[in-house]
Chain A
Amino acid sequence: MTSSVYIHIPFCNNICSYCSFTKFYYDKEKVKKYLKALKKEVLEKYKGELIKTLYIGGGTPSSLSLSELKELFKIVKIFKLDANYEFTFEVNPDIDDVKIKFLKDNQVNRISMGVERVNDKYLKFLGRCHDFKLVEDKIKTFNKVGLDNINVDLIYALPSETLKDLEEELTAILSLNVKHISTYSLMIEEHTKLYINKVKPIDEDLDYEMYKLIIKKLKEHGFKHYEISNFSKSNYEARHNLVYWNNQEYYGFGLSSSGYFNNIRYTNTSNLAKYIEGNYVKEFETLSKKDILSYALILGLRKIDGINLKEFNLKYKVNLLDLYNIRDLIKNKKLQIEDGNLKISYDKIYISNSILINFVGE
């Protein structure tokens, strides 16, 4: 049963130096055509299920004008929302107050804000067009209209960054009193400005020290580390993202978005012209039983608490411990069982790939 929806809005007013997502400079004509195609895609695929989590991401969804947002939310109205829904909308700190009010009035109940950094020096390096003062103001405005379930993103491990810098940034971010923090170590990916400028990643040992500092500091302030990169106050985990990590089904609508239902994982085209013509899907993978188990493991073990053995065995009708070389990995202390859950040993979380590769390929 598919009960989650992701919608991608690929427009931005500004292109960040690290971003490798599919995005375009905001263009009125393109937005118009895009929203029309998006509506068509939703009508073609959505079968009327009750939707429990909805996520509008980008790009920068908040770059749309108010009238465009109204068009977008007409599409949102197509979905039947469950009584207990989570509806996340991604914004940049430059969002204006009218749009904030609009989101509040149109069922949005969770905000994810691209804060990324506090210090101007680093914001400039990342190509962000705001300062921390603006972030503080907007968070206040959101709180004032009654939107207090807020996530902020933080990118660390920037060139020349020190542990002291990071500590200061964390202190500032914690002062925002948000419920959820996502942290990402800077990845220099192809097709980004950083890659073109040949920026090099920082030393691996320092990167790990930073990760440990983030964990320590956020835990001290009452955050729970519940996924490799994600921290939340209790009961404020991102329900939508948990759908991914729990290997549950979801619709993906819009340019370059991905979805999963009926044993198929698909990814839409990144070509705007093709998308507007209605050629949505670029590639898809029909999953075998083995693929499904593989996904269940590589996703589920991203959660710090791991995978519940009983639920897993019931859902997939196998004994999790019999799969792959899991017993050996437990013996080697790479995996462990605690409170009925199988999970990656906490000290190995930051090298989880070296464990997860056991569950892919031949």
Chain B
Amino acid sequence: MKQENIRNFSIIAHIDHGKSTIADRILEITKAVSKREIKEQMLDSMDIERERGITIKLNTVRLKYEYKNEEYMLNLIDTPGHVDFSYEVSRSLAASDGAILVVDATQGIEAQTIANMYLALDNNLTIIPIINKIDLPSADIEKVKKELIDTFGFKDDEIILTSAKTGVGIKELVEAIIDRVPSPKGNINKPLKALVFDSLYDSYRGVLTLGRIFDGRIKVHDKIEFMQTGSVYEVTELFVYNPTFTKVSELTSGEVGYIVASIKTLEDVHVGDTITLENNKCDKALPGYKPMQQVVFTGLYPTEANKYNELREALMKLKLNDASLTFEPETSEALGFGFRCGFLGLLHMDVIEERLEREFNLNLIATSPSVVWEVMLTNGEVVKIDSPQKLPPPGKIKTISEPYILTNVFTPSEYIGPLMELCQDKRGIYKSIEYLTPERAILHYELPLCEIVYDFFDKLKSISKGYASFDYELIGYRPSNLVKMDILVNGSLVDALSTIVHKDFAYNRGKVVVNNLKELIPRQLFSVPIQAAIGSKVIARSDIKALRKDVLAKCYGGDVSRKKKLLEKQKEGKKRMKQIGNVEIPQEAFLAVLSNEEIND
């Protein structure tokens, strides 16, 4: 197809504003799928994606559309919609020439609307703003229009009104893509220059690399080179997805497609890398490449020790399709053998844990998530540690630094007060407030990353009745007065419960933690003291009373099968607990150490 008739575009939106359903309707109107085949959210292929309504892995689809007697090729480049995956978003935007900005008619602009919009502008994309869900009774089209005009400077007549539910505005939208988004401007005669913006693993073919061809062409049997890593492979197959995998013999400038080259592992393919030909290299790589950075770490342990190998295999399988997941073996005296896993962010961590439990049927203990600390030793050496257990002894430490973030908390103005209080409680440093309109503001705080890894997001949502949203960027390391707080259960230190806390907050935190553990750990056959300690100094203590009652008193007219089932269920529940010494500790307890407030029983 000639480049003039190609359009490469993405859809960007805040979570839940209807990005995936807009994509579904576009697929429908371009007849890529018949109505009958449409499942809700066609492009989100994992169950979890559909259930949570979020897009984790990218999918890109080639569509055909007749317009003014010309045939057009539309490449819809789907992007993940969450801050954890912002680098992936930015790379898929780099593969596009335009973007549809979806804003919910009932919600208006939110944090990720802005974050994604800025990413799109960074990539010089043509933006088509749309207001979606106009069919809803609570839609306030005029207000949202005004926000779009005031915040981003759109013109009234640029904004398209749609309802992905009823299909209103979709045709207008598709035609606006053709009219407004520029066609690719590559040079087919130059050496190959293609951007890697996603990859996925297929158990028969190995890695499928998803690329956008900027210049030149790629054919089967070409020897390609990944410019960042220098590795060379021979192309064995080329595919496009429309939306089934269809083989093609070549991809030319302006096009998007899957490249198969007998690549064994995803780690060999880096999103953001540039592909060229080994014997006819392009002048220089595309800009913007950066290796992936894990920011949140947690220890994952099987509740039953004999499931260690199963956990390792499951992690390896997940990693095949998600190069951003890292893991290395870790040993805990309390929990046995497990893995220290690194994630791009909190959502990423949640999704992986859920997939391990659901798809691989594993019972896991997750230790409290942590960040990467920079420890300067007295001898001047700097070490990075991603787990409290790895902290060197106090005598060897000169300073500990922790990562800080800058938040963009996007909120209706009435919640500014309570949200500021939340940020202060989390050791936040106030920077500024920007008012977008008198009713909406963005709150900027600098916060230690470790303060948001536990319940910040939930709190933010509950304080603002769900209206506030936020994202963040890492802004570097700062020294803090941090200490390691240990937890002793029945007199022995449980390493997996240790945390690194700010010294000024340690006493309070310790009190809360021992009280919460008291609520979360069920009574045992004997009474169990729970203590929080810094070094050898106990700072808080609480006691779990001995078990007094665990009995089935009633006998149901001979229904002893039920009795047995109840006992079996009780035993199953015990399996999900971890036996530490002679105390059984449930999974939730390992996360409780991060909580700031007491559980209300």
Contact = CB atoms under 8 A, between A and B. Distances in A.
B549 A207 contact: yes
Contacts of A275: none
Contact of B549 (A185, A267, A285, A359): A185
B525 to A, nearest CB: 7
Contacts of A183: 553
B47 interface: no
Interface in B532-591: 545, 547-564, 567-568, 570-572, 574
B571 A352 contact: no
A57 B556 CA distance: 10
Interface string A179-199: 000011101000000000000
A241 B555 contact: yes
B548 A207 contact: yes
Interface in A49-71: 55, 57
A265 B561 CA distance: 7
A12 B564 CA distance: 28
A260 B563 CA distance: 14
A361 B568 CA distance: 6
A352 B551 contact: yes
A257 B558 CA distance: 8
B14 interface: no
Interface in A192-232: 204-205, 207-208, 211, 228-229
A350 B548 contact: yes
A353 B551 contact: yes
A244 B570 CA distance: 22
A8 B570 contact: no
B19 interface: no
Contacts of A352: 550-551
A272 interface: no
Contacts of B549: 185, 204, 207-208, 211, 350-351
Contacts of A204: 523, 545, 547-549
A361 B571 contact: yes
B574 A357 contact: yes
Interface in B142-165: none
Given A208-B548, A350-B548, A353-B551, A258 B567 contact: no
Contacts of A84: none
A55 B547 CA distance: 35
A184 B549 CA distance: 13
Contacts of B548: 204-205, 207-208, 350-351
Contacts of A8: 557
B572 A351 contact: no
Interface residues of A, number: 43
Which residue, A229, A259, A349, A354, has most C-beta atoms of chain B within 10 A? A354
A354 B550 contact: yes
Contacts of A267: 559, 561-562
A89 B309 CA distance: 58
Contacts of A357: 567-568, 570-571, 574
Interface stretch (A35-43, A144-152, A292-300): A292-300
A21 interface: yes
A60 B421 CA distance: 60
B553 A184 contact: yes
Nearest to B570: A357
A306 interface: no
A176 interface: no
Contacts of B545: 204-205
Interface in A260-294: 260, 265, 267, 283, 285, 294
A295 B571 CA distance: 15
A259 B558 contact: yes
Contacts of B572: 361
B518 to A, nearest CB: 14
A298 B523 CA distance: 22
B571 A21 contact: no
A72 to B, nearest CB: 16
Given A298-B567, A356-B567, A361-B571, A351 B547 contact: yes
Interface of A: 6, 8, 21, 55, 57, 183-185, 187, 204-205, 207-208, 211, 228-229, 241, 244, 250, 252, 257-260, 265, 267, 283, 285, 294-295, 298-299, 349-354, 356-357, 359-361
Top 8 A-B pairs, shortest CB-CB distance: A208-B548, A258-B559, A351-B550, A357-B571, A353-B550, A361-B571, A360-B567, A184-B553
19 contacts: A8-B557, A21-B556, A183-B553, A184-B553, A187-B553, A204-B548, A208-B549, A229-B554, A252-B558, A258-B559, A294-B564, A298-B567, A350-B548, A351-B547, A352-B551, A357-B568, A357-B571, A360-B567, A361-B567
